[in-house]
Amino acid sequence: MGRLDGRIAIVTGAGQGIGRGVARRYAREGATVVVAEINPETGAAVADEITGELGGRAVFVPTDVLEREQVEAVVARTVTDFGTVHVLVNNAYVAGPFGPFESKDDGDLELSFRGGPQHTWWAMRAAFPHMRDQHWGRIVNFVSLNGVNAHKYSADYNAAKEAIRALTRTAAVEWGVHNILVNCIAPGAATPSYLAFKESSPENARALLGLNPLGRMGDPEHDIGGVALFLATDDADYVTGNTLFVGGGTHVNGVAWNPSVRG
């Protein structure tokens, strides 16, 4: 038996990177996975991987998290097709490029908030009544060490990710009475965005890796997916309102974040 047998999970941004890794890990443990992804090619491909390669259950639902109607629709579709939702993973994120604080305009901040805490808010509120009625729910929100440590050149992103942490803690306090547990993961993984950063700022990438006690970037499925799996299971029955730093210890050892940007 899998640790998530019988559970229904929605994973946003599941077409690549960490979202894909979490979706695959959940499917390996028996969950039915709703792949909520804006890119039709990658979203369908991940659903096909789960049903074909892994022999699991998955459905791809095209979802633009910048649109409230689509975020609410993926939750409604999940409930219609599978009866409920047990696990919600808010992984998708939309943001602008790096840049000095003073060069950022209002549009950058607005995009970061709509592409992060706003859609997380919509999805959590949509899933809440179903989790409340069954007196069981798990919500995993993805945040970032960038926000915790105030990394340079991403003020809008940092603020938005910290807002997600505030939503997480508040929901954990309010919804604990319903046995809805809400936690964050601040990951460090070899995602497409990390690989792009590594290519644009190779020296900085090497410096960052040198501060990682484990000496490697995390694998989205094994390393990050494993912790997301724990938070979705009964093993985490007494864990809520937390931020788990899943970055090989980089949060302890300091940062050397200095990407190449144009002011």
Please list the active-site residues: 157
d(CA 186, CA 201): 21
d(CA 81, CA 11): 16
Calculate the alpha carbon distances from 61 to 11, 117, 158, 168 in Å.
10, 21, 29, 25
d(CA 102, CA 120): 27
Residue 8 identity (one-letter amino acid): I
Contacts of 247 (CB under 8 A, 6+ apart): 145, 186, 187, 188, 212, 218
Q: At what angle do helices 40-48 and 17-28 cross, to 10 degrees?
A: 20
How far separated are the first and last CA of the chain, in Å rounded?
Answer: 54
